[in-house]
Structure 1
Amino acid sequence: MEGVKSAADNGNDDHQMNCYGLVFPDNCDTYDGPHSVECLTTIWEWKGCLGEGTKAPVNLNAGDNDALDLLNLDEVLDNFELVQMEADGGDKDKGLECYGIGLYILFYHFSFF
């Protein structure tokens, strides 16, 4: 089992899937933190958020980066997905975090007579 984990931690996609249940993004070296800004940015963009977002990895302060380093890759994926889902659900603050803009969702009702 240690051989599988070692191979996973050394970048073997098959062993990452067997060991962790996911294949790491190309620029993510480990399942557990610390995670590089490049790794976090890849995951951020996978989840649909933009670099202009106030919580984009490139825009975080040291304390926020330290908090992300305590998470494993699954937790980072879940965290970023939640931000994106809440932003798309109309949460203005999460819109700023994810996209760099507050989202205002307008619904139009068209009726044709």
Structure 2
Amino acid sequence: MEDVKSAADGGNDDHQLNCYGLAFPENCSTYYGPHSVECLTTIWELKGCLSEGTKAPVKLTTIEKDITNLLNVEEVLDNFETVRIEADGGDKDKGLECYGIGLYS
């Protein structure tokens, strides 16, 4: 089992599926934080948000990054998807966070 976990943490997609239930997104090297800005940006864009968004990973404060680092990859995926869904549902604040523009005035 330790070999499977080591292989998963080493980047093996099949072992990531076996160990964690999902293959890590590109630029993500661990299931648990801390997560690199590159990893978070990949997930952010994968979920449909833009770099112009006020909560894009490169724009997070140190405290926000620390909070994100407490999440595992799956929780980050879910969190970023929720931001996009709420933005698309008409939430003005989430629209700014995800897209950087107020889509719903």
TM-score with structure 1 setting the length: 0.90
Report how far residue 99 of structure 1 moved.
0.2
Letter in 1 for 2:67: A
State the match for 2:15 in structure 1: 15
Q: Percent identity?
A: 77
Alignment of 1:1-113 (within 5 A): 1-104=1-104
Number of positions where the alignment pairs a residue of Structure 1 with one of Structure 2: 105
Q: What is the Cα-based RMSD across aligned positions, in Å?
A: 0.9
CA displacement 1:6-31 (0-9 Å, x = unmatched) = 11001001000111111112211100
Structure 1 CA distance, aligned partners of 2:27 and 2:77?
15
Q: Deviations over 1:18-59 (max 9, x none)?
A: 111111122111000000000000000000000000000011
The more displaced of 24-33 and 37-46 is 24-33
Can you give the 5+ residue segments of structure 2 that lack an aligned partner in the other structure? none
Q: Which protein has the larger Cα radius of gyration, Structure 1 or Structure 2?
A: 1
TM score, norm. by length of structure 2? 0.97
CA distance in structure 2 between the aligned counterparts of 1:26 and 1:74, rounded to whole angstroms: 13
Q: Which runs of 5+ in 1 are unaligned?
A: 106-113
